[in-house]
Structures are given as structure tokens and as C-alpha cells.
């Protein structure tokens, strides 16, 4: 009650003044209230559609509808009324996530209805000639898959993929999981979208500690010469690159994360206009529910990202090139040399709404990290650091803390610990301790964030290259999450592409292979500064371009 009253006051004030300093201006989100997963993205009849999990009543999760936004260029958007809402016995508990498939020239939405049990349901356009596809109808055959396959003892069952065609049949996968055991995606076949046959798991987890025991929002698509399976897991949105064979089984050869930050429930679609694969993902808030209630909105979508397969079978995700149409002012900083005294980047007049692209030309060996401060106040009380670090070869030192796993190893060779770290996409740094120091046998500690070096006799430590964000001083607000985030770099630091949009920061490291989405909530109006910094001895040589960016919203596309 108190939060609703507070929201009424604060939200009205913000609406009257037209200003909400935390509200992003070039990220897709509803006019107000709660957004989560992207649903059913598609390109149809010259228009991009994005549906999404939406609570029309409040800035918290509940009463799931499918919100709807449309665009002609994937950059500028118009919000429309919700497309799907809970109105049938099989979806009164919510119209949960799902996908769109264009079949014989018309889209079919398939979603999870929450009724007495979760079921898979379809919806079709009421009027295929309506260019905006405002109204949708649910056929009487719903739910088309009334329940999960018997005998599997599933704890979760939801989020059907876009269908893919092979011969006369279409296939979908549905997310599922067995508590404490494994996540999985269940494969179904149909030839009419009304009658479905369960076949077998398309793919399932082999390691519950890596990918959790419930896979939400599965996705499956061809990319380059390979196939990609994606699951939203307890460790984030994991892609698996691999092979899809004649018997409809997937097997992986590589795995990683689209993004190491606040990114979840993502979904791709085939952009037939430009023959490419586009990714959307949900970015949640990282402050308190009270603050979200007071603002009157929560959640947004990441920038649309184009996916490509790298020669070594990684999925790279980069902002689509059309986002250049948002650039309103170019600030060419050119080639700059920076040392530990730093460099202020004057000239970006919208420090809460801009893009910066840094290319690393050279790094002196004594430099330990370098990067940029954004949302920086002149008195430095608020600032957020985005940084790059080169890999640190094994050295006789300790890196105490920040372990996500410690394993006993049978050998006294510290290189085994390094190999463990380098073969785990979650690992950023490692420390080896000899027998007798942390237990009877030698130990290997894997770290989720690079800790500071600390001398300690006998330890051996090393670090991967890192792109990271340090939010320790990002906000004076006590409820803002100030934990740090880092993504491992497989190669030397090369590029850092950053988008700042009020409370969201999107970081693309090394051409989209090491990405982090983060949220910051500066409180001071003057937290608009941008500057470069270097830690350690020596200089870095950087090429720097920046652009001020406009808004994506229009009343009609």
C-alpha cells in the first residue's frame, strides 16, 4: 500500500516534469510497469514484432500478458496494446513465454499457458491483413500439448521454441527440468501445429553444477556451418555450438555465455530482411523492488544484437549496425596515449546517453588494467569503472577469495590448475596451493572475478584476460547493487564497445565475444563525466570514438 501511494506521488511528479533520470531512452521497454522475457520476435510483412512478458498492473512480476512493440528498422519502436492476455481456463495463471513461427505465410504464436497444469498453446492473427497484427485468437483445439510427457517426473515444463522444418515435419523444443538432477529441452514433432508427438530430449545437461536443473527459454537455430542450442540456466544464458544429426539429436563441441552480466531468457529470430540471426534478452533491475515501484517501471530489453560464429566456434553478439542511425553527434577523440594520470574525455554532452568505441593499439607491460569511467561526478563520489586486463601468466603469488569452486587435484603441477581454469568458461582466475596448505592434497581454486594479488609462499596463481565493471562507487543509493562483474577474454584486450543509456550499461568486449550488461543508478545530476584511466606503470595507446545518441520512440512507425 505504502509503495503504491509512493509510486502515485513520485510517478506523477516524474510524468509532470517529464524526467526520470534512470529511465533508458534507446532500449525497448513498455511505457510503464513490468517487463521480462522477450517472446515471439519476428519479421513479418515488412515489420519487426517484439512481444514480451508483461504485467500491465504493476512494476513487479505477475499476471503475465504478452506486451507488443513494432518497428520498421529494428531501431525505432512503437508500443502497442498487449497481444495476448490470460482469458482461458488453460492460461488464467498467465500467458508465459513462447515463440513465433511463420508457417505458409502466416505467423503462429506458441506459448505456455498456466492453468491447472502448464500446457503449450497456440494463437493466430485475427486479421492477417492488419499490418500491425493487433489482435490474436486462440483456437478451440488449445491447449495443443495439454501436459508434459508422462513418466518424466518433471518439475518445470515451459517456453516452446520457434519451430524448424525438416521434410514434411515441424519441430519444437520445450524447456524442462528434474529437480536436483538436470535441465533438458524436450523435442516435439508436428505437421499441422495442432497434433504434436513427443520424441525425446533434444539436449540435456551433463553437469548440473554448470547449467542447473531447469532449462528455461530454450532456443535452437543454425549459425554459420553449425547449430546453436541455447538454454537459460542457473549460470545465465548458455549457448552450445554443435551438431544436429539425422536422428534429431544435438551434440555440443563448445559452450559459453552470450553475456556475463544481467541477461536472461533471451530469444533469437531469423531476420529474413537481412539474412541474419538477431538476439533479444531481458535485462532486470539491480536495485530494490521499492525503487522500481516508485519509478513505476521495471525491466527492459538489451539492444538488438547480431549473432555470428567465430572461426573457433564461439557465438559472438554485437549491436546491430543500424543502431548508428541513433547517433546525433560524433566526438572523434582520435588516438590518445593514457598513463596513470588519466585523461578526461570532454565533449560528450549527454553523459547518460552515448556510445563509445575504444580500439586498443598498444599496452605497456607494466600496465595492470585500463579502461574508462562513466557516470562520473566531478567530485568522484559517483563513478563506474569499465576495464580491461591482460592475461597474467602463472606467478608465485596468491589471489585470495572470490572462489566459485575449489577442487583437490592429484598432481603437484600448478599447470593442471591453469588448464582447469582455461577449459571452464566461468573461470576468470585461479590459484594453486600445494599439499598441506589448504588440505592434505594440492588444491585448485577457480575464481569468478579477478582478486587482487597477494604474496604467499607456495601459491601459484594466474589470470585470464578480463573485461570487467567495477560498480563499487556507481551510486550513493544504498539499495543499488554494487557488486562487480567480469567476463573472461580468450585473447589480448582488443576492443571495448560501450553503450550508456541512463541506468543501463552494455559492454561488448573483443568484438562481442566477452559481453556484460550491467545496471547503475547514479543519484547526482552531475554524474555525467567520462574519462580514461590506467593502473600500473606505463602507457596505453587507444583509438577512441564517441557518439551522443537519441531516442528510439515514435508514436507511429
Which grid cell is 515?
559481453
CA dist 341 and 22 (Å) reads: 31
Backbone angles phi, psi at 491, to 5 degrees: -125, 180
Nearer to ligand DQQ, 62 or 332 (CB): 62
Nearer to ligand DQQ, 49 or 158 (CB): 158
Note whether 265 and 216 are within 8 A (CB): yes
Tell me the longest C-alpha to C-alpha distance in the chain.
74
What are the residues binding ligand DQQ (CB under 6 A)? Answer: 36-37, 53, 64, 96-97, 112, 158-159, 216-217, 264-265
SS3 label, residue 472: coil
CA dist 386 and 392 (Å) reads: 19
- Nearest approach in angstroms of CB 455 to ligand DQQ is 44
Nearer to ligand DQQ, 232 or 313 (CB): 232
Nearer to ligand DQQ, 97 or 353 (CB): 97
Nearer to ligand DQQ, 111 or 445 (CB): 111
Backbone angles phi, psi at 12, to 5 degrees: -65, -40
Note whether 531 and 345 are within 8 A (CB): yes
Note whether 83 and 134 are within 8 A (CB): yes
- Nearest approach in angstroms of CB 117 to ligand DQQ is 14
- Nearest approach in angstroms of CB 119 to ligand DQQ is 12
109: closest CA among 65, 175, 154, 155? 65
SS3 label, residue 293: helix
- Nearest approach in angstroms of CB 114 to ligand DQQ is 8
Nearer to ligand DQQ, 159 or 352 (CB): 159
DSSP characters over 153-172:
--SEEE-PPPPEEETTEEEE
Q: Is 129 exposed, middle or buried (0-12, 13-18, 19+ CB in 10 A)?
A: exposed
24: closest CA among 512, 556, 485, 550? 550
- Nearest approach in angstroms of CB 264 to ligand DQQ is 6
- Nearest approach in angstroms of CB 536 to ligand DQQ is 41
Which grid cell is 79?
508500443
**Per annotation, catalytic residue among 20, 37, 259, 352:** 37
How distant, in Å, are the alpha carbons of 87, 153, 198, 233, 241 from that of 181?
35, 11, 21, 13, 23
CA dist 289 and 291 (Å) reads: 5
Count of all residues that appear for the chain in the document: 557
Indicate if 237 belongs to the active site.
Answer: no
Helices then strands, counting H and E runs in the chain, come out as: 4, 40
Note whether 506 and 499 are within 8 A (CB): yes
CA dist 364 and 539 (Å) reads: 6
CA–chain centroid gap for 397, Å, is: 34
Backbone angles phi, psi at 57, to 5 degrees: -100, -20
**Which residues have CB under 8 Å from 457's CB, separation 6+?**
none
Nearer to ligand DQQ, 264 or 425 (CB): 264
- Nearest approach in angstroms of CB 109 to ligand DQQ is 13
Which grid cell is 99?
515463440
CA dist 216 and 158 (Å) reads: 7
Nearer to ligand DQQ, 52 or 508 (CB): 52
**Which residues have CB under 8 Å from 523's CB, separation 6+?**
382, 475, 476, 477
- Nearest approach in angstroms of CB 361 to ligand DQQ is 41
Nearer to ligand DQQ, 120 or 510 (CB): 120
For the CA atoms of 196, 201, 203, 207, what is the dihedral angle to 10 degrees? 150
CA dist 203 and 349 (Å) reads: 49
Nearer to ligand DQQ, 196 or 215 (CB): 215
Note whether 37 and 52 are within 8 A (CB): yes
Nearer to ligand DQQ, 266 or 475 (CB): 266
SS3 label, residue 488: strand
Catalytic residue numbers read: 37
Amino acid at each position: 500500500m505504502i509503495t503504491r501511494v509512493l509510486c502515485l506521488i513520485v510517478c506523477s511528479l516524474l510524468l509532470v516534469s517529464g524526467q526520470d533520470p534512470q529511465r533508458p531512452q534507446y532500449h525497448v521497454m513498455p511505457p510503464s510497469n513490468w517487463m521480462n522475457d522477450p517472446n515471439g520476435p519476428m519479421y513479418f510483412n515488412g515489420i519487426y514484432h517484439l512481444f514480451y512478458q508483461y504485467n500491465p498492473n504493476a512494476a513487479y512480476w505477475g499476471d503475465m500478458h504478452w506486451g507488443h512493440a513494432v518497428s520498421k528498422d529494428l531501431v525505432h519502436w512503437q508500443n502497442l496494446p498487449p497481444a495476448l492476455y490470460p482469458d482461458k481456463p488453460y492460461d488464467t495463471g498467465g500467458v508465459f513465454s513462447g515463440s513465433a513461427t511463420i508457417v505458409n505465410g502466416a505467423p503462429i504464436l506458441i506459448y505456455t499457458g498456466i492453468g491447472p497444469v502448464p500446457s503449450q498453446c497456440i494463437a493466430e492473427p485475427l486479421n492477417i491483413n492488419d499490418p500491425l497484427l493487433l489482435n490474436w485468437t486462440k483456437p478451440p483445439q488449445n491447449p495443443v500439448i495439454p501436459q508434459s510427457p508422462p513418466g518424466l517426473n518433471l518439475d518445470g515444463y515451459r517456453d516452446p521454441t520457434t519451430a524448424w522444418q525438416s521434410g514434411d515435419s515441424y519441430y519444437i523444443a520445450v524447456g524442462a527440468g528434474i529437480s536436483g538432477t538436470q535441465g533438458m529441452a524436450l523435442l516435439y514433432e508436428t505437421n499441422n501445429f495442432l497434433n504434436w508427438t513427443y520424441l525425446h530430449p533434444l539436449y540435456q545437461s551433463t553437469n548440473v553444477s554448470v547449467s542447473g536443473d531447469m532449462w528455461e527459454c530454450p532456443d535452437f537455430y543454425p549459425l554459420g556451418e553449425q547449430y546453436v542450442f541455447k538454454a537459460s540456466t542457473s549460470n545465465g544464458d548458455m549457448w552450445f555450438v554443435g551438431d544436429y544429426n539425422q536422428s534429431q539429436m544435438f551434440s555440443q563441441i563448445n559452450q559459453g555465455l552470450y553475456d556475463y552480466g544481467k541477461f536472461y531468457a533471451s530469444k533469437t529470430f531469423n531476420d529474413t530482411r537481412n539474412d541474419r540471426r538477431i538476439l533479444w534478452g531481458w535485462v532486470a533491475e539491480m536495485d530494490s523492488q521499492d525503487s522500481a515501484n516508485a519509478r513505476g517501471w521495471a525491466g527492459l530489453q538489451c539492444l538488438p544484437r547480431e549473432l555470428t560464429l567465430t572461426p573457433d566456434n564461439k557465438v559472438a553478439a554485437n549491436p546491430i549496425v543500424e543502431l548508428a542511425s541513433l547517433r546525433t553527434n560524433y566526438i572523434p577523440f582520435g588516438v590518445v596515449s593514457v598513463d596513470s594520470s588519466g585523461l578526461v574525455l570532454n565533449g560528450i554532452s549527454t553523459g547518460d546517453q552515448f556510445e563509445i568505441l575504444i580500439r586498443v593499439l598498444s599496452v605497456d607491460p607494466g600496465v595492470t588494467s585500463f579502461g574508462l569511467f562513466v557516470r562520473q561526478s566531478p567530485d568522484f563520489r559517483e563513478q563506474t569503472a569499465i576495464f580491461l586486463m591482460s592475461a597474467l601468466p602463472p606467478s608465485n603469488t596468491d589471489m585470495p577469495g572470490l572462489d566459485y569452486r575449489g577442487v583437490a587435484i592429484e598432481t603437484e603441477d600448478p599447470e593442471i590448475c591453469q588448464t582447469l581454469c582455461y577449459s571452464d568458461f566461468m573461470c576468470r582466475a585461479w590459484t594453486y596451493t600445494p599439499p598441506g596448505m589448504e588440505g592434505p592434497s594440492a588444491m585448485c581454486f577457480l575464481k569468478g572475478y579477478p582478486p587482487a594479488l597477494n604474496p604467499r609462499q607456495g601459491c601459484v596463481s594466474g589470470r585470464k584476460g578480463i573485461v570487467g565493471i567495477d560498480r563499487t562507487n556507481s551510486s550513493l543509493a544504498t539499495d543499488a547493487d554494487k557488486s562487480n562483474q567480469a567476463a573472461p577474454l580468450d585473447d589480448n584486450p582488443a576492443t571495448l564497445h560501450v553503450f550508456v543509456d541512463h541506468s543501463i550499461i552494455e559492454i561488448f568486449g573483443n568484438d562481442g565475444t566477452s559481453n556484460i550488461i550491467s545496471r547503475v543508478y547514479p543519484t547526482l545530476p552531475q554524474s555525467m563525466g567520462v574519462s580514461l584511466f590506467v593502473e600500473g606503470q606505463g602507457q596505453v595507446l587507444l583509438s577512441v570514438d564517441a557518439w551522443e545518441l537519441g531516442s528510439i520512440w515514435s508514436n507511429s512507425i
